């Protein structure tokens, strides 16, 4: 009950502070700064405080599993986001102060986050076939006081809400650095060769990585890779979703970093906990 009351006060105070309207003043004024100082989140490095990504699928498991959330803020201030202007795709990172985190949370809440009502949103037909693609829908999730609240484009949020909050998230850092994983899960999916995906001959790949058998790391049995191999596999995936071709079969790589990608398996117990960088 206390958490719900706090969320209600946050929504009222911060949304009221951001809106250009002049609503009637309540009999007891709410101090937005005082509420902002009451914001509390899990400060552990694996805790996700804010994440902007999408739900749904394209029907292509390689593309879907390689997808990176647009912007993720962890409890220890670690910020990771996809550079919207980079081609090929790049993931950037930085470390934020508590005050910067608090200011961002106040901005999102002040945008009306807790007032958006999914029950008044758009209803989509349920996909009947499990293998069919499901709609790609924008999503924002916030975890405060141990409670996660998700809002999607199916909620009644304002037209530019997601784009505005994402832009703010992607510009929180003044000193971004390029993210390179120290550890990641690697798997390979065989399939027909595709003309729209860059190719790398098997012999060339095997010459660089003679101990890596792509036929032995299917989706359900990924391999944990670290160091230089993790870096190179990550770059191959990010720089063009390349296929490795052999005898008419194309192997497409999937690289998943624990913590960064929600569907990624947890890192092995003995692995370095810094697989998501700084």
Calpha distance 213→188 (Å, rounded): 9
Whether the per-residue pLDDT at 27 is higher than 90: the answer is no
Q: How far is CA 75 from the centre of its chain?
A: 14
204 shares a domain with 90: no
Looking up tokens 């990585």, which residue turns up? 209
pLDDT at 232: 92
Place of tokens 């006060």: 9
Q: Which two tokens stand for residue 146?
A: 């141990």
Give yes or no: residues 32 and 134 share one domain: yes
CA 194 to chain centre: 28
Bridge partners, 236 (sequence order): none
The tally of domains found in the chain comes to 2
Determine the pLDDT at residue 196.
85
Residue 26 pLDDT: 31
Q: What is the extent of the structural domain holding 132?
A: 2-118+127-178
In terms of Cα–Cα distance, which of 121, 15, 81 is closest to 277?
81
Task: Report which listed range, 1-5, 8-12, 48-52, is most confident.
Answer: 48-52
Phi then psi dihedrals of residue 210, to 5 deg: -65, -25
* pLDDT for the residue numbered 277: 53
88 and 68 both lie in a single domain: yes
Contact (CB, 8 A) for 194 and 250: yes
Asked if the model's pLDDT at residue 164 lies above 50, the reply is yes
* pLDDT above 70: percentage of residues in the chain: 78
pLDDT tens per residue, range 166-184: 999 999 999 999 999 999 9
Q: What is the secondary structure of 73-109 as a DSSP string? A: EETTSEEEEE-TT-SS--EEEEE--HHHHHHHHHHHH
pLDDT at residue 60 is higher than 80: yes
Q: Which residues have C-beta within 8 Å of that of residue 84, sequence separation ≥ 6?
A: 170
User: What is the arithmetic mean of pLDDT over 263-278?
Assistant: 70
Q: Is there a single domain that holds both residue 197 and residue 149?
A: no
5 contacts: CB under 8 Å, gap ≥ 6: none
Based on the fold, state whether residues 98 and 222 are members of the same structural domain. no
Token pair recorded at residue 92: 């950037």
How far is the CA of 193 from the CAs of 6, 98, 167, 203, 245, in angstroms? 54, 49, 37, 16, 7
Same domain, 170 and 201: no
In a domain, 274, yes or no: no
The answer to whether position 143 is within a domain reads yes
Using one digit for the tens of pLDDT, what is the confidence trace for 217-259?
Answer: 999 999 999 999 999 999 999 887 789 999 889 999 999 999 9
Res 198 pLDDT > 50: yes
Residues 64 and 173 in one domain: yes
Rounded average pLDDT over 44-53:
97
pLDDT of residue 53: 97
Split at pLDDT 50, 70, 90, the class of 23 is: very low
Average pLDDT score, the chain: 83
Residues 46 and 75 grouped into a single domain: yes
Indicate whether 72 and 149 sit together in one domain: yes
Give me the DSSP letters along 161-192.
HHHHHHHHHHTS-SS-EE---SEEEEEEEEEE
Could you tell me if 146 and 194 lie in one domain?
A: no
Task: Decide if 265 is inside a domain.
Answer: no
* Residue 202 belongs to a domain: yes
CATH number (domain holding residue 70): 3.30.1560
The b/e string for 102-129 (b: 16+ C-beta within 10 A; e otherwise) is bebbbbbbbbbbbbbeeeeeeeeeeeee
């Amino acid at each position: 009950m206390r958490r719900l009351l706090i969320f209600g006060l946050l929504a009222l105070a911060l949304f009221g502070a951001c809106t250009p309207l002049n609503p009637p003043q309540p009999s007891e004024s709410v101090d937005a700064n005082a509420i902002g100082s009451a914001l509390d989140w899990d400060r552990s490095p694996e805790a996700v405080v804010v994440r902007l990504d999408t739900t749904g699928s394209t029907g292509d498991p390689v593309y879907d599993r390689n997808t990176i959330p647009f912007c993720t803020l962890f409890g220890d201030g670690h910020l990771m986001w996809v550079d919207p202007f980079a081609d090929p795709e790049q993931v950037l990172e930085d470390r934020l102060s508590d005050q910067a985190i608090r200011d961002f949370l106040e901005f999102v809440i002040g945008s009306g986050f807790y007032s958006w009502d999914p029950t008044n949103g758009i209803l989509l037909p349920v996909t009947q076939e499990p293998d069919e693609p499901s709609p790609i829908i924008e999503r924002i999730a916030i975890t405060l006081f141990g409670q996660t609240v998700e809002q999607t484009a199916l909620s009644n949020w304002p037209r530019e809400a997601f784009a505005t909050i994402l832009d703010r998230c992607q510009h929180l850092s003044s000193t971004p650095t390029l993210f390179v994983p120290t550890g990641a899960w690697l798997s390979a999916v065989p399939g027909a060769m595709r003309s729209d995906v860059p190719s790398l001959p098997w012999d060339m790949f095997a010459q660089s990585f003679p101990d890596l058998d792509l036929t032995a790391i299917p989706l359900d049995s990924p391999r944990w890779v670290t160091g230089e191999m993790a870096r190179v596999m990550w770059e191959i995936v990010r720089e063009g979703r390349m296929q490795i071709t052999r005898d008419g079969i194309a192997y497409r790589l999937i690289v998943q970093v624990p913590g960064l990608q929600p569907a990624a398996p947890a890192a092995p117990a003995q692995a370095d906990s810094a697989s998501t960088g700084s």
